[in-house]
Structure 1
């Protein structure tokens, strides 16, 4: 809310016992009018509550006195006792939700500001009196007219990959070429940073790097994530069941690539999506992958799936646990521990 006009008002001292006796429920006492942001304001205090439902509490409101305010005023305000310094900190005040005041909505506040009994026993009370502080800030007209556009940095960086302008390194993956920008890769991946600028630096004078043991479509998805920070969609033209199996396989390869290049967000996105592909025929493969790449969350989901008696029966009938017994005996021990716990 900047630019803005702000003000701090300290309300007069109040005697709780006297005000309770002389001001019934539904009635209030008011501060003198004051000006902030070119408008007149007033603080209203109802010592016995504004409504019958709040008769056991004190009510406190900020009121707009100007009548012809057709365009809503965006206002931040906060009430505190004068000794509540933590609520008077600028960071605390900036975090308060702005409210709209106008001729149709002329007051905001607290129906149950504080229980009367609690107020009478509180340390805020000095000689049966206390002081209320009101901080408020009113946005100016200029501020309301300024529209800040949404961030476009993601679109601009992703356009670098599409346009290939300024690329200074080429990767060859399964006979396909991918042009990229060293600085972008290094900023996103510590592994790429070491490979392109550190002691692991690879490539010839022509800045060509060969990537082994990875499919081109997986590396393409990896690059897309690096430039967009989103998980790429996989285009599948098969039936639902076969397409689901293909997507699961693709996600497994992409997760392995994410782990290889230390892209933790991509790795987590793949983990989360793979959870939806866990089934009788795939759970052991996904479990082994989770163990290999230290995906504790994905591993736990696999364990919970296997623990279900019906699922375990089908997996055992299909000899699904034999592969784990051979390749990852530690997983079998963990699974047994899960059953016995």
Structure 2
């Protein structure tokens, strides 16, 4: 079927499908089908790589060439004086060292397996990871003497993680260690036999300083991590008192940064025989194409009227991706002689455009705020709602905590509401304001 799909992909200029089919045909090349594949791609400029691979396969082994010359396809091309025959013969002539012939007779030959090795020189890979802990004061009350882990990040071909432990004092701790924050860098990957040499320094974000980071400890001599799970850092990077008084951002968060360099020693990498595609197939671009479809309005059959603006869209895309919004489209079509016009009330045009773009591309929202969450209930996009909740949680502050909490309650966003309440209780001034709002019991 790959042959027929290749013809169809070439006919309709489907580049990614064309490359996928060429890869399938390349992986299956042998003496029984190489001439058929060569005949298929002959004259197709878009398949030059596959054509060249077929010719190289035929010319690379004298016995393969002798088997191919006996096929009907080769004789037909020879009798028609096809330029392909000239290319094959010229390629055979350029091969100075032919590979050994098989002693088992004329059997089906496949592409020869290859192994390879590469010498890697010593290099230093630099990495920076910022670990933000929102609502830090509330967090340390809940996780006292327990470790908080960052997400996994990759530097120098190895996986790492930061481990942060705020401690108010406990068994086995000295007076100097109590009331401090410990920070460690942890190796999560298996290191090579010679280990992984790492130079590290930790910094804490200073929201009031002229520079974005304040260096708390300038690091030490490079260390060598020789096994998975090994950690290195400081038992007392900074005191809890300093963290609360100097380094909390306006939203109550604390950001710890690890700036480190991984030194990779010289080594030679080896591979095992493996089947690898010769032709690189690009990643899917369907989201980009749908985004362009929305922007260019080609083939649109629905027009939304929002705040006096006309926004064009495609009913089939909406039906597949957002059934709730499609019900609005279908209802408007039934009530109006002009089934292409749908009026959207109670929503900003900028917000509706963002909703449509999410419907088409599933693109995450980076800068949209409260209004998107409010209006999302109208179109029933659960994933978009969760993304917006996370956005609001990350940007909570003293100024918007009450408004965000009230909005979360109105729209049944229980997790966001709980997060807002925890934040309010962690800020003394907000907690006092909350107490004032609680009605006193009737006498």
Bin for the TM-score computed over the shorter chain: 0.3 to 0.5
Q: TM-score, normalised by structure 2?
A: 0.37
